[in-house]
Homo-oligomer: A and B are copies of this chain.
Amino acid sequence: MSKRAHQTVRRTDALSKARIVEAAIEILDTRGEAALTFRALATQLATGSGAIYWHIADRNDLLAAAAGDVLARALAKVAKEEEPRAAIRAIALAVFDAIDAHPWAGAHLSREPWHSAVGEIFERIGGWLQPLGVPVDAQFDCASALTNYILGVAGQNAANARTLPGGTDRKAWLEAVATRWIQDVPEARPFLRRVAAQMREHDDRQQFVAGVDFILEGACVKRNA
């Protein structure tokens, strides 16, 4: 009860982990991961770094809390689905969209895959594998594959946001990457050459779902083994 007393008595502008995380998310979203320094955070909260450290262990703790916040909100909004495949797609896309909107969160999750948000994703997806018809002994591998795939795309998206911030022409950038990849090697790279056009034009979100579908399809088929 002394705990509750604190929370009500403190004046409204008192620091708290929640308020610090909120401020951190604002900095991360508007100015990127590199801009989240304890000095910037202290300025934004009109306090000193020591006060922040009273509520938060270190920078990693702060990033983890911010990423957890963003992902929990995204996962809470996933629409209820009846059909297993649609349900898994919805969960995966919720994560994709959250990380697309907050790339720093993607970077953190692929750096810290034991974050509780990853456990949540794992559970939510895993629960649909039985109704989907994935054999029992393939369910763990399937959920892991999906999680790893999602984290891989998360890292990729974070990297994209880092290298082409805001205004840059995405199509031109992809074109440049494709030609660099092709020219890197003296012998032509026939496959890259063949798909370069698709690489320039492709939609990340749509391609992401295609990957999810591949894994689900493969796990369903794997009745043998």
Interface size on A, residues (CB 8 A): 60
Write the A103-120 contact mask toward B (1 if CB under 8 angstroms, else 0).
000010011111010011
Q: Is the CB of A159 within 8 A of B190?
A: no
Label chain A's interface by main secondary structure: helix
Q: Is A192 an interface residue (CB 8 A)?
A: yes
Q: Is the CB of A211 within 8 A of B177?
A: no
How long is the Cα–Cα vector from A53 to B85 in the complex, in angstroms?
Answer: 52
Indicate whether A192 sits within 8 Å of B123 (C-beta atoms), given known contacts A114-B177, A198-B140. yes
Q: Is the CB of B148 within 8 A of A153?
A: yes
Indicate whether A116 sits within 8 Å of B218 (C-beta atoms), given known contacts A122-B192, A148-B152. no
Contact of A211 among B122, B148, B190, B199 (CB under 8 A): B148
Q: Is A84 an interface residue (CB 8 A)?
A: no
Q: Is A222 an interface residue (CB 8 A)?
A: yes
In the complex, the count of this chain's copies comes to 2
Q: Is the CB of B219 within 8 A of A127?
A: no
How long is the Cα–Cα vector from A139 to B195 in the complex, in angstroms?
Answer: 8
Q: Is A149 an interface residue (CB 8 A)?
A: yes
Contact of A141 among B154, B156, B158, B207 (CB under 8 A): B207
Q: Is the CB of B155 within 8 A of A123?
A: no
Indicate whether A184 sits within 8 Å of B150 (C-beta atoms), given known contacts A126-B195, A192-B122. no
- Residues of chain A touching chain B, judged by Cβ–Cβ distance below 8 Å, are 107, 110-114, 116, 119-120, 122-123, 126-127, 129, 138-145, 147-156, 158-159, 163, 177, 180-181, 184-185, 189-192, 195, 198-199, 202, 207, 210-211, 213-219, 221-222
